[in-house]
Amino acid sequence: MASDVLDVTFAALADPTRRAILARLARGEASVMELAEPFAMTQPAVSKHLKVLERAGLISRGRDAQRRPCRLEARPLKAATDWLENYRQYWEESFQRLDTLLDELKAMDNTDRQAEGHS
Amino acid sequence: MASDVLDVTFAALADPTRRAILARLARGEASVMELAEPFAMTQPAVSKHLKVLERAGLISRGRDAQRRPCRLEARPLKAATDWLENYRQYWEESFQRLDTLLDELKAMDNTDRQAEGHS
């Protein structure tokens, strides 16, 4: 069950237009027409993305039949964030190793320059 | 570019087997055979998932031709975590609203019970 939530959430987030739609809705609800405009997309193309987001529970649609405004439903993002938090120590360690390597390379470069200066 | 990283990272994470493989590799590197065992999957099926993870830069393969051990490369998960962190306030607010609603329902229920007790 929790796994299914992660499946559909991550799949919904794997598209730049869908992520941009969520970013837009984080600023307030919007109609399909309002969402289609900045993306230079047709309304049917936007509607297709909205269906994926709605199935993932990431947006809800208003009842106003004309406008059916879309609203961000951020709750499924908690499960995704929680899952990724388990890996924080791994990427933090990975960046620390990279920093150490760069420091070592800089130190080697300085030693080389000094050696050249003395030759 | 950063968008492409998010596309392939989120797509790679949208599968329970691939997430389980990453969880296993977080405990240390493993060969395809070692990865296939707990999943009761064939090695070709696991290899297919490993290719998706490798393309997303989430794992690397060792040079040992026989074993080619897989290793977790957690760095792309930072971008995904950073993207999701932008939405933390939204799901936190959403859970707070749910808590408030539940408190209100509990308070109403208590009032009802008290009213019944007095009748």
pTM: 0.82
Asked whether the beta carbons of B46 and B39 are under 8 A apart, the reply is yes
The residues pairing with A72 across neighbouring beta strands, listed in sequence order, are: A59
Beta carbons of A7 and B22 less than 8 Å apart: no
B36-89 pLDDT tens trace? 988 888 889 999 999 999 999 999 998 877 788 999 999 999 999 999 999 999
Checking if the pLDDT of B103 tops 50, the result is: yes
Whose tokens are 């040079």? That residue is B63
- Rounded to whole angstroms, the Cα distance separating A47 from A29 reads 15
Beta carbons of B26 and A87 less than 8 Å apart: yes
The residues pairing with B60 across neighbouring beta strands, listed in sequence order, are: B71
- With a CB cutoff of 8 Å and minimum separation 6, the contacts of A29 are A62, A69, A70, A71, A72
This model of the complex carries an ipTM of 0.82
Residues of B in contact with A78 (CB under 8 A): 91, 95
Residues of A in contact with B19 (CB under 8 A): 3, 6, 83
Q: Which residue of chain A comes nearest to B13, CA vs CA?
A: A10
Beta carbons of A74 and B91 less than 8 Å apart: yes
- With a CB cutoff of 8 Å and minimum separation 6, the contacts of B29 are B62, B69, B70, B71, B72
